[in-house]
Structure 1
Amino acid sequence: MATNGQSRTARRQQKKASKKPLWKKILLWTLIAILAIGISVGGLFTYYIATAPNIDASKLDTPFSSKFYDKDGEQFADLGKKQRTKVEYDELPDVLIDAVIATEDARFFDHPGIDIWRIGGAIVANITDGFGSEGASTITQQVVEKSFLPPDKKISLKVQEMWLALQLEQKYNKERIMEMYLNKIYYGKRAYGVVKAAEVYFGKTDLSELTLPEAAILAGLPQRPSAYNPFKNPELMKDRMSTVLQLMVQHDKISEKQAKEAKQVEIASLLTEDEPDSTPYQAFLQQVEKEVKKNVDGADIYTDGLKIYTTIDTDAQKYVEFLLSDKDDNPINYPEPVVNPKSDEGKKVDLQAGMTVLDTKTGAVRAIGGAHGGLENQGFNHATQIDRQPGSTFKPIVDYGPAIENMQWSTYHQLNDDGPYDIKGSDKQVETWDSTYYGWVTARYALQRSLNVPAIKTFEEVGRQNAKAFAEKLGITFGDKKIKLTDAIGGGDIGTNPLELAGAYRAFANGGIYNKPYTVTKVEFPGSGKTVNLKPEPEAVMADSTAYMITDMLKNVVTEGTGTSANISGLQVAGKTGTTTRPDVNGSPDSWFSGYSTNYTMSIWTGYDNNNIPIDDKFKNVSQRLFKHTMMELSKNIETPDFTKPDSVVEQAVEKGSRPAKLPSNYTPESQIVTELFVKGTAPTETSEKYDQLEPVNNLEATFDNEANAIQVTWEYNSKQSVSFEVSARVDGDEKQKLSSTEETSMEITNVEPGSDYEIEVIASSHESAIDASEPVTTTVSIPEDMEDDEDDEEEEEDEEENNNEQGNIPSVDSLQAKPTASSIDVSWQYNGPPAQYEVVVSRSGSDIQTKTVRSKGIVLEGDGVRPGQTYTITVTPVGQEGANKGVKGLTKSTKTSVPDEADSVQGNSSNNHDGEASD
């Protein structure tokens, strides 16, 4: 009986059918997928083949030279031009053909244009290592690719390449294809084709004269012509030659004995003596090649017939190369070559240099100087390839730039340069070049004088991650290296080069806008009309206030600090010096200067390739002089405006030494007021009260007038304020008595007591009661006893002369006093004894730091020896000058004084051209 219109048996059969095995389902769907993929791939490959270019016989023999254009669109170079000579197959020696086939395509004479076995191996490698990791191109495919197709690594192009290779083999025999290949291939040194290569490297124009080692070299060169350049890298080329010889043995082209004999040949013995001239502007073109290779997949500037539009200013490039030359009229004086300590033969080496010139507004590279003496034949480019410690050129990048950006520091921000800085967890110290420390200084002065301790303290306050992040935005590459404390002064693990450093400094010059320095704006491919634009996009990497404030401080470096050799009269430039030191080198192995105007930015490095060789002190400023001469030349006949202060920055007068910054009061002396830069909204608002007390009088003197029988007192006072002077006196140590109040700067004291000592005191007081009176200033004068008559005078003179000739009667000085100011100590005394001069000894912390001999009864101590917050002992000893007393020392007298810690110990100018780095 049926249920629901279907029998039970039918339902069982349906259920059984629905339980078909799973593997059968998987197999079915797999076959369907493979079929679908096959149809799709077949259709896609058919499309690739249908759109492949036709074989153009005119393009088969000669590679296209790439043309290069300058910043104005004018052609300045044509790589490959005139450096080729055609050869027929019959002129090719068997040894060369065997070497090429063994190296490039062992089954060349057997396959139809593509090699199935090589394709299989390449597919496996591309699956395991990624597409493009291994090629399978035969010689025929290489001819096709270099003749008709762009160099991109795309599946479509690879399909077209194989299709055209099959077609090419139908039209031409193997001999003709081999001939095309050897006429087309690039061998380096601007040599296209094997005939030109043989001439360039071996001086041979007849290929039948090629030896087995020479044939092996020519077979191995095309893989990496620059790297295997036998003139520059003979050892690397020898390894490559050995590889080719071993392949020839493997494919039965030569015997093991022949290979062994060939491997014994020295590469240098095969080469022509006259290495061919290098391409003009090679340092610049090296960077062009690097950028094209990196940004245009598979492009070859030597063979692809590209139109490459560059940023070069050929006039700037020529001048940079001139300054790096050894020509007689070069204004740069380079040192004589020095012995390389790593050379067993005592080989001498030159001081090297690398420099980069950028357009400040765009970041375009205008010139590159790759080496002192000129960069030739793909040599080492010191502007782009070095990785050296940057010294103090790092201070704006990892210290003061991040401090202004992240913490809104002002250029006045106070930092304590208080002595060697102990590195935590180490027994090392960070010092300054002359072991002189300046106490409290402004950030401006610390950067101007390149002081290390303030830089380290700034770095620690900023924080390592903030410092690194700021530097990375400016294009500084860290890789897997961690930023260290010593990187704060450019002496850590992070290295750089002039191209990278110029890019970083340009951001300061350009209002905080950065883009990576570039030499190429666009690349055009022949025939296809394809254009690749390479100009990088600009990016704001810091506030315009940060950029301007760093720039303003760096202008002081050039005018008053460590970079005065780079200063240019009448031109507004900013810059920073940098030198490095290492414990194992007695001197500086690196000297840098990075600087800029509103038009150009440059970075220059000088040093030796062996960084164990120090630079002679007399030549540490070569980097500054290279900057100066280049900037002067490029700035001729063009307007160079000064840097424009943005609205985000304010100028504010502040009182020197105030911590934190305070506004000057109405009574702050002009000499104690400086104008500094603040981020808008952070300028001080509190007014200093330090100078509410009047300044004391200066140059107080008191002398006895014998004829008038009176004391003449004089002093000086430079303030414009309305003041009067209270004059008091103390006789023989008795109680002080007020004598007068006057607005004059002199007075006469009459009715003096014979034989007495007078101490005169003068205090300045204001007519405004709100201002405190000045500190008192005193001086002393002695009044002689009354003289009875001329005879007594004569007897006294005789007695005095007798005393002068009597040894041992030299007394000590009287009234010794020392008065400190912000940056000096005024020492004065009195003396009543035989003629003498005075030995003055200045001590600090128990050690004598200064000794001077003077004839006057006073001396002013100032300069580096006077520091805020320090206590000094001054000892004065009279030394006889006449008769038996000549050279005899009298009794000493001492006094102590302390320089106020509140004074701004160093805010003045200096032009001493030392950099002050102490890098690890």
Structure 2
Amino acid sequence: MSEEYRSRQERKKAMQQTSKPNKTKKGGSGGGGKSRFKKILTALMIIFIIMVTAGAITAVAMIAGAPPLDEERLMMSNNPEIYDIDGELVTTLSGSENRRMADIDDVPDRMKDAIISIEDVRFYDHFGIDMRRLGGAVVANVRSGFGAEGASTITQQVVKNLYLDFDKRLTRKVQEQYLAVRMEQKYTKDQILEMYLNVIYLSGGRYGIVEAADYYFSKELDDLSVADAALLAGIPQRPNAYNPFNNPELAEQRRNVVINQMERYGKITAEEAEEARNTPVEDQLQQSERDPYPYQAYLDRVLSEVENIDGIEMNDIYSSGMKIYTNLDTGAQEHVETVMQSNDYINWPDEEMKAGLTLMDTQTGQITALGGIRQQTQEMRTFNWATQPKRQPGSTIKPILDYGPAIEHLKWSTYHQIRDEEYKYKTIDQTIRNAGRGYSGDVSMRYALAQSLNVPALKAFHEVGDSKAKAFGESLGIPLDTMGETYALGGFSEGISSLQLAGAYAAFGNEGEYNRPHTVQRVEFANGRTINLAPEPEKAMEDYTAFMISDMLKSVVQNGTGQQAAISGLPVAGKTGSTNFTEEDRQTHSIPENVGAVRDSWFAGYTTRYTASVWTGYNSPSEGVIRQDNGSNLIARQLFREVMQHVHEGEETPDFNQPDSVVRVAIERDTGLLPSDFTPEDQIINEYFVKGTEPSSVSEEYEVDADDLPVPSVSAEYNEEEHAIYTSWSFDTDVPGDFSFELEVRGPDGDYETMAITDDTQYILNNPQYGETYSIRVTAISDEDEDLRSEPGTVEVTIPEEEEEIEEDIPDEIFEDEDEIEEGNEDEEGPGEGNGPPDDDGSDEDNGSEDGDGPGQENGPGQGNGPGQGNGPPDDEDEDEDDSEEENDESEEEESPPDDNEDTDDTEQDQDQ
């Protein structure tokens, strides 16, 4: 403001000088300068007063919001509590209910001196705030930004740990300083130091120096050496980094810094300092026997996430009294630990084999269980194989960097054809090989992924381009700061963790929505402040990409390399992966060639409910290698199956939902076109296409014409007993589809008549005419295309002539009609009227000139048989009568009406057929 004011005065003066002649004022030329200086000084004083007043008002407002000092709270252990997904308390990180507290009178001077020398050297001189240290921190913050360097005294650290959250806002710092001054007024220095020594976090889940001395050295406080005290005093700045069990070298460096400070401020002699510095950290350590912490791998990740909250310092968490609400499913976690730490489910080859497993909710990204260690330890924080190591992912990366981007950007179908052939990197003179060392020729993208072929994956990566592939992978949480074409096959320079891979795969099962994997839902601080840590979902890909990748990954599990991970009745999608040793590794570690040794073995997979990613391997080839000959190459798949089967028990798990942007199309296996009516069923497959890219042309691969059809083989036979023609035929063809048959018959009239169109292969023609020849022909007709007809198969059948019936003379005696007898034989005993002379014995064939058929009754009077009935001698009479009676009996049998009706019904039935 003063600069603006001065500028205006100068402009005004310049204008006056140009408009008026120069004049010399009385009193000399310096009077105007003094006046301006006074005005500037006055303005600065006003600004300063305003700023001080505003600052004071602000400070008063901030201080008014500070919590009151609570002696009970100061004296209690205030450790963070961790809750599971159902809101049930899982543990307090320190086991505070059994924690031993230190009395300041029992703390040896060397322990006090070590803490004060490194944390707050003027502790006994300041009033709660170290103004000298504060000044240095102000300068650092001006240079590097607020919060760059702290100036907290021991008193301030006690206040911060017990009362405030860890946001580095100005309000918190003002309240912290105010409460520190109040605490110094209310408590002695020794009381404040005692509070500090009991609430300080010293790694390994240990709070306070009593617990830490027992944990690291198995000692009481009185038995601590200078080196021991210095080691403990150095831990609070970075508890995990300076844990001597995990990082002995860093811990020793930090210990020596404390020793130097103690020597500098005269707390120990040079000789004591030299002796302490020359003590190896390993010689100091003697871990006490304690029960291991529950759910170590999971809690380790919980604390890592809380430590990453902006404004929270690692060493501030453990005595804050915060409540951490997590996504921990204790049932799933316990099962994971049982599977990983016993041989009940997995036949582990040795104790050195490591495994990392991440189980998460596919829809939300909530991590429900972690398997990070195979042997429990007393450490709360330990190396977590699920989250910490960065190992090359092998072929599990193919959906992420190769095929996913190809569907996303090029809209490839699951059928898209790629030639598997000899192929090289573009930037490296190296030929790409498959696991089987051979090549498969043209294959679909589905097949290439299911069989984990390398050349098609690299070709897909090249066609999409590394920039698009990189962006796609990063949208799924995969770190790709530097990326080359070797990444297409999982050859990462740094690698990824099972947690990162699980997060990426879950997005495929969540219709393309990515959720950052997380263990913590929210954190509630002692002052009531809450921080929600559940991330918002982000769209990583189109829904068609997610669905089509998921469907292809189901093929991996159903009939590809991941069949050992299949779970009956559960729609599982997943991918295997492995990485090889270099030739140098093989020679250095004497790895045999014939055991199928690999460095890393992976399986990542998911359903619509859960996602799991599993890594297995060894810390170093000197400890062991994954081998095919002992089955350890299958353990990642077995782990996945055991855990996923457990968490899905009793759960309804729907299949992946096909979005409207995807169509399922039946196509020919070889052409990729729509099948024709003649495409064999075993050559038709179903594949998925992005809507609008599906084929519309019909294949002509299997088109046929009449010349391709065989002639039906026809046979026919006349059945004399039934008076019918039995016709049958066969039609053997490789032409696909169904066929019907047209049967035509040509009879006496000379024209063919269609008798039936049937899918049977036989026909009965009833009641043909005697003595005629019938021509029968059968034509095959396609049910799909009625114009597709075979040449007819023909056969002829000739019906024999009907046999004539022989009529025999029937004696007069068989007639029973009295009227007939009277008319033809009125005078039975008269002399042979009309049939020859009386002496004729009737043996003549003609029996008279009219064959015995005179007028009246055809036989003339007296029956025309002469004396003795005209039948010759009396001896022949009985024989002739018997013959006549047999003939009459046969005639009666032939005229039976019921038999005729039954035959007629059968005939009509045959014709209907």
TM-score (norm 2): 0.72
* Aligned mates of 1:648, 1:324 — CA distance in 2: 41
Match of 1:393 among 393, 396, 412: 396
How is 1:570-589 mapped onto 2 (pairs within 5 angstroms)? Answer: 570-584=569-583, 585-586=585-586, 587-589=597-599
Which letter does structure 1 place at the counterpart of 2:241?
A
Count of residues in Structure 1 that have an aligned counterpart in Structure 2: 698
SS state of the match for residue 353, structure 1? Answer: strand
Which letter does structure 1 place at the counterpart of 2:435?
W
* Aligned mates of 1:772, 1:449 — CA distance in 2: 44
Deviations 1:38-93, CA, capped at 9 Å, x for gaps: 33223222322333222221122233122211111111112222352222222111
* Aligned mates of 2:317, 2:627 — CA distance in 1: 41
SS state of the match for residue 380, structure 1? Answer: coil
Task: Find out whether 1:598 has 2:608 as its counterpart.
Answer: yes
Which letter does structure 2 place at the counterpart of 1:444?
R
Which letter does structure 2 place at the counterpart of 1:380?
F
Match of 1:47 among 46, 61, 67: 61
* Aligned mates of 2:788, 2:602 — CA distance in 1: 52
Match of 2:386 among 356, 365, 383: 383
* Aligned mates of 1:508, 1:467 — CA distance in 2: 16
* Aligned mates of 1:719, 1:95 — CA distance in 2: 95
Which letter does structure 1 place at the counterpart of 2:466?
R
* Aligned mates of 1:638, 1:766 — CA distance in 2: 50
Deviations 1:345-365, CA, capped at 9 Å, x for gaps: xxxxx1111010011121111
Partner of 1:316: 332
Q: In the superposition, relative to structure 1, how do residues 552 and 221 fare at CA in structure 2: closer, same or farther (>3 Å)?
A: same
* Aligned mates of 1:169, 1:19 — CA distance in 2: 51
Task: Find out whether 1:462 has 2:471 as its counterpart.
Answer: no
Partner of 2:490: 490
Shift of 1:770: 8.0
Partner of 1:334: 348
Partner of 1:845: none
Quick check: 2:677–2:737 contact (8 Å CA) kept in 1? no
* Aligned mates of 1:212, 1:324 — CA distance in 2: 41
SS state of the match for residue 325, structure 2? Answer: strand
* Aligned mates of 1:278, 1:227 — CA distance in 2: 20
SS state of the match for residue 673, structure 2? Answer: coil
Shift of 1:30: 4.2
Quick check: 2:217–2:288 contact (8 Å CA) kept in 1? no
- Mark the runs of 5 or more structure 2 residues left unpaired by the alignment: 1-18, 587-596, 711-730, 742-758, 762-779, 792-913
Quick check: 1:448–1:556 contact (8 Å CA) kept in 2? yes
Partner of 1:94: 109
Deviations 1:145-172, CA, capped at 9 Å, x for gaps: 2222222212222122222222222222
Instruction: Report the more deviating stretch, 242-251 or 195-204.
Output: 195-204
Quick check: 2:396–2:603 contact (8 Å CA) kept in 1? yes
- Mark the runs of 5 or more structure 1 residues left unpaired by the alignment: 1-6, 338-349, 699-713, 725-742, 746-763, 775-920
Quick check: 1:515–1:536 contact (8 Å CA) kept in 2? yes
Q: In the superposition, relative to structure 1, how do residues 602 and 496 fare at CA in structure 2: closer, same or farther (>3 Å)?
A: same
Partner of 1:279: 293
* Aligned mates of 2:382, 2:165 — CA distance in 1: 28
Partner of 1:358: 360
Partner of 1:134: 149
* Aligned mates of 2:363, 2:599 — CA distance in 1: 32
SS state of the match for residue 620, structure 1? Answer: helix
Which letter does structure 1 place at the counterpart of 2:51?
I
How is 1:879-898 mapped onto 2 (pairs within 5 angstroms)? Answer: none
Partner of 1:554: 553
Paired-residue identity, % = 46
Partner of 1:650: 663
* Aligned mates of 1:489, 1:561 — CA distance in 2: 18
Q: In the superposition, relative to structure 1, how do residues 351 and 113 fare at CA in structure 2: closer, same or farther (>3 Å)?
A: same
SS state of the match for residue 324, structure 1? Answer: helix
* Aligned mates of 1:55, 1:303 — CA distance in 2: 16
Which letter does structure 2 place at the counterpart of 1:551?
S
Match of 1:239 among 247, 250, 253: 253
Deviations 1:875-915, CA, capped at 9 Å, x for gaps: xxxxxxxxxxxxxxxxxxxxxxxxxxxxxxxxxxxxxxxxx
Which letter does structure 1 place at the counterpart of 2:692?
G
Quick check: 2:358–2:370 contact (8 Å CA) kept in 1? yes
Partner of 1:780: none
* Aligned mates of 2:468, 2:789 — CA distance in 1: 47
Partner of 2:638: 625
* Aligned mates of 2:428, 2:22 — CA distance in 1: 90
Partner of 1:563: 562
Q: In the superposition, relative to structure 1, how do residues 10 and 230 fare at CA in structure 2: closer, same or farther (>3 Å)?
A: closer
How is 1:338-487 mapped onto 2 (pairs within 5 angstroms)? Answer: 350-374=352-376, 377=379, 378-419=381-422, 421-478=423-480, 480-481=481-482, 483-487=483-487
SS state of the match for residue 82, structure 1? Answer: helix
* Aligned mates of 1:417, 1:773 — CA distance in 2: 42
Q: In the superposition, relative to structure 1, how do residues 59 and 460 fare at CA in structure 2: closer, same or farther (>3 Å)?
A: same
Match of 1:267 among 273, 277, 281: 281
* Aligned mates of 2:389, 2:415 — CA distance in 1: 36
Instruction: Report the more deviating stretch, 540-549 or 353-362.
Output: 540-549
SS state of the match for residue 308, structure 2? Answer: helix
Quick check: 2:402–2:461 contact (8 Å CA) kept in 1? yes
SS state of the match for residue 276, structure 1? Answer: coil
Q: In the superposition, relative to structure 1, how do residues 333 and 773 fare at CA in structure 2: closer, same or farther (>3 Å)?
A: farther
Deviations 1:357-399, CA, capped at 9 Å, x for gaps: 0111211111011123346511111111111111111111111
Task: Find out whether 1:164 has 2:179 as its counterpart.
Answer: yes
SS state of the match for residue 85, structure 2? Answer: coil
Quick check: 2:216–2:288 contact (8 Å CA) kept in 1? no
* Aligned mates of 1:685, 1:24 — CA distance in 2: 91
Match of 2:158 among 143, 157, 160: 143
Task: Find out whether 1:70 has 2:84 as its counterpart.
Answer: yes
Q: In the superposition, relative to structure 1, how do residues 22 and 589 fare at CA in structure 2: closer, same or farther (>3 Å)?
A: farther
Match of 1:685 among 684, 692, 696: 696
Q: In the superposition, relative to structure 1, how do residues 652 and 22 fare at CA in structure 2: closer, same or farther (>3 Å)?
A: farther
SS state of the match for residue 358, structure 1? Answer: strand
Alignment RMSD: 3.1
Quick check: 2:416–2:445 contact (8 Å CA) kept in 1? yes
Quick check: 1:406–1:462 contact (8 Å CA) kept in 2? yes
* Aligned mates of 1:477, 1:165 — CA distance in 2: 43
How is 1:478-557 mapped onto 2 (pairs within 5 angstroms)? Answer: 478=480, 480-481=481-482, 483-493=483-493, 495-526=495-526, 528-557=527-556
Deviations 1:845-874, CA, capped at 9 Å, x for gaps: xxxxxxxxxxxxxxxxxxxxxxxxxxxxxx
TM-score (norm 1): 0.71
* Aligned mates of 2:269, 2:563 — CA distance in 1: 68
Quick check: 2:292–2:376 contact (8 Å CA) kept in 1? no
* Aligned mates of 1:463, 1:723 — CA distance in 2: 55
Shift of 1:270: 2.5
SS state of the match for residue 690, structure 1? Answer: coil
Deviations 1:741-778, CA, capped at 9 Å, x for gaps: xx999xxxxxxxxxxxxxxxxxx99998987999xxxx
Match of 2:73 among 44, 59, 68: 59
Shift of 1:190: 2.6
Partner of 2:234: 220
Which letter does structure 1 place at the counterpart of 2:472?
F
Relative to total residues, which structure has the larger strand share, 1 or 2?
1
Instruction: Report the more deviating stretch, 292-301 or 409-418.
Output: 292-301
Relative to total residues, which structure has the larger helix share, 1 or 2?
2
Deviations 1:245-291, CA, capped at 9 Å, x for gaps: 11111111112221111122222332234353332111111111111
Task: Find out whether 1:124 has 2:127 as its counterpart.
Answer: no
Quick check: 1:398–1:471 contact (8 Å CA) kept in 2? yes
SS state of the match for residue 522, structure 1? Answer: strand
Quick check: 2:162–2:319 contact (8 Å CA) kept in 1? no
Quick check: 2:165–2:529 contact (8 Å CA) kept in 1? no
Instruction: Report the more deviating stretch, 466-475 or 125-134.
Output: 125-134
Q: In the superposition, relative to structure 1, how do residues 41 and 431 fare at CA in structure 2: closer, same or farther (>3 Å)?
A: same
Shift of 1:336: 2.6
Task: Find out whether 1:634 has 2:647 as its counterpart.
Answer: yes
Q: In the superposition, relative to structure 1, how do residues 666 and 42 fare at CA in structure 2: closer, same or farther (>3 Å)?
A: same
